[in-house]
Amino acid sequence: MTGNPVVDWASDYDVFDPGYITNPFPVWDELRSSCPVAHTERLGGSWLPTTYEDVCAIARDPRRFSSIEITVVPPDLDDEFANVKAAPIQSDPPEHTWSRRLLLPAFAPRAVTRYEQSTQELCNSLIDGFIDRSSVDAAVEYAQQIPVRVIAAMLGIAESMSDTFTDWVRGVLEFAAIDPELAKRSRVEALTFLHSEIIDRKAHPGDDLISYLLAQEVDGEPVPDLHVLGTCGLLLVAGADTTWSSIGSALWHLASHDADRKRLVAEPELVPNAIEEFLRAYSPVTMARIVAEDTDVGSATMRAGDRVLMAFPAANRDPNAFEDADQVIIDRERNRHVAFGAGIHRCVGSNLARMEMRIAIETWLARIPEFHLEDPSAVTWAGGQVRGPRHLPVTFP
Ligand code: HEM
C-alpha cells in the first residue's frame, strides 16, 4: 500500500493496495463501466486505462506514448549506471528499431527449442527434490526456479548465481514501491555483475547471448558495451519474474480448479491452449508510458510528461473483447490476448516464455497429476509491475 486506504478507485487508485494485488478483477470491472481511464496522484501520479481498446491504442502509438520510462514506480536513477537504458523496452524509435532487431534471432521459435530439453531436465530435477514430501511451495520451489536458470544459461552465467539473480529481480521490481533503497542497490549490484561478465566475454567469447550481442554491429560499428549491459539487465528482469509469475498463476489455477486440472491430465495436448488462457486471465505484466504531447484518451485529458500504466491484465478481462471474459476457459478458441503487449514493443521473449510455461506445466502434471492448495489463505501475491503468486503451498498424495 502506498498511503491511505483507497476510497475512490477512479480518482485515487493504488496498484499496491493488498486487496487489489490479491484480487484486482472487480476493480477493473467497476472502472471499465464507470471511469475507464482512472487517475491517481499516488507515486508521482499516473493514469490507468482499463479497456482493451484504449490499452491497445496506446500501445500502438509510440509517438504520443513514449517508452522512455516504463516502470510502474518512477525510477530514482542517480547511481553510476544512471545512463544505462534497458533497450529495446525503454527506448523509442529509431533506437528501439535496431536494438529490438538485434535480439529477435536469439528468441525466434527455432532458437528457443535449443533450451527445451534442458528446461525439461530442470523441471524434473526440481520435482525430484520434493516429490517424496507430499507438499511443496510451488511458487518458491518450482515456478521461481525455472526462468531464472533458463535466462542465466542463455547469458552463459553460472547456475549458482540463480538465487542472487532472483533477489536482484525482486528488489528491482517487486519491492521498488516499499523499499526504493533496495531497488537501487539491487539494480547497481545486478549491473555491476553483468558488466564484469561483459568484460569477461570480450576477452573470452563463448556460445552465449552476451558474446553474440558483443559481436553484432550497428551501422558498421560494434554495439556499445553500455548498450549490451542495458539489454542484458533487461533480459534478466524481463525473463525471470514474468515467466515465474505466469507458471505460478497457472499452478494456482490448477490447484484450485479440479475439473480443469483433471481435463489437462487426460488431454495433455490441450496444454498450449490452456497456457494462452492462463496468460490472458492472469496476465502478469503492467508497463508504463510517458505522454509525449498533450492528448485525450476517452474523456481523460493527459498532459505531456504524465505517466500511463499499461494495464494489459485489465484489457485481457474486458468483456467487450472476450466472451465470458471473467471465466477461465482452457479450450477457448478466440483469444487475442495482449499479455505480451501490442505494437512495436510486443514481447521479444514470448516464444521462450511459452516454451517454459508449457514444459513446466506438462512436466508437473505428468508427475503430480493430483494436487490442491494446502490453505488458500496462505497463498500470497506480488503486484504492481508484475503480478503472480509468491507463496503457493500445495499438497499432493
Ligand atoms: C509470461 C512471460 C512474459 C510476459 C507476460 C511478458 C510480457 C511482456 C510485455 C507486456 C511486454 C511489452 C512491454 C511494453 O509494451 O512496454 C514485453 C516486452 C519484452 N519482453 Fe516480455 N514477457 C514475458 C517473458 C519474457 C521473456 C522470457 C523474455 C526474455 C528473456 C522477455 C523479454 C522481453 C523484451 C526484450 C521485451 C521488450 C520488447 C521491445 O521493447 O521491443 N519477456 N514482455
The tens digit of pLDDT for each residue in 369-383 reads: 999 999 999 999 999
> What's this model's pTM, rounded to 2 decimal places?
0.96
303: domain CATH number is 1.10.630.10
> Letter for the amino acid at 242?
T
Residue 388 CA to residue 247 CA, distance in Å, equals: 9
State in Å: Cα 369 to ligand 1 middle: 30
Supply the pLDDT for residue 142: 98
333 burial (CB, 10 Å; 0-12 / 13-18 / 19+) is exposed
Sheet harboring 287-291: ordered strands across? 37-40, 46-49, 307-310, 287-291, 65-66
Please indicate, yes or no, if residue 198 is contained in any of the structural domains.
yes
Q: Is 20 helix (H, G, I), strand (E, B) or coil?
A: helix
Please indicate, yes or no, if residue 271 is contained in any of the structural domains.
yes
The tens digit of pLDDT for each residue in 246-255 reads: 999 999 999 9
| CA-nearest residue, atom 43 of ligand 1 | 347
Mean pLDDT of 60-80: 90
Residue 391 CA to residue 21 CA, distance in Å, equals: 14
Please indicate, yes or no, if residue 225 is contained in any of the structural domains.
yes
Do 70 and 287 form a contact (C-beta atoms < 8 A)? Answer: yes
The tens digit of pLDDT for each residue in 258-305 reads: 999 999 999 999 999 999 999 999 999 999 999 999 999 998 999 999
Please indicate, yes or no, if residue 1 is contained in any of the structural domains.
no
Do 213 and 223 form a contact (C-beta atoms < 8 A)? Answer: yes
Please indicate, yes or no, if residue 4 is contained in any of the structural domains.
no
Residue 16 CA to residue 13 CA, distance in Å, equals: 9
Of 58, 69, 347, 387, the residue with max ligand 1 atoms within 8 A of its CB, to mutate for a pocket test, comes to: 347
Please indicate, yes or no, if residue 300 is contained in any of the structural domains.
yes
| CA-nearest residue, atom 32 of ligand 1 | 349
Please indicate, yes or no, if residue 117 is contained in any of the structural domains.
yes
Helices 225-256 and 180-203 sit at what angle, rounded to 10 degrees? 120
The radius of gyration computed from the CA coordinates of the chain, to the nearest angstrom, equals: 20
Site residues for ligand 1, CB cut-off 6 Å: 59, 67, 70, 88-89, 100, 103, 151, 234-235, 238-239, 242-243, 246, 284-285, 287, 310, 312, 339-341, 345, 347-349, 352-353
Q: What is the count of structural domains for the chain?
A: 1
Please indicate, yes or no, if residue 3 is contained in any of the structural domains.
no
Supply the pLDDT for residue 178: 81
Do 368 and 133 form a contact (C-beta atoms < 8 A)? Answer: no
State in Å: Cα 350 to ligand 1 middle: 7
Ligand 1: nearest atom to the Cα of 100: 41
Domain that holds residue 172: 9-395
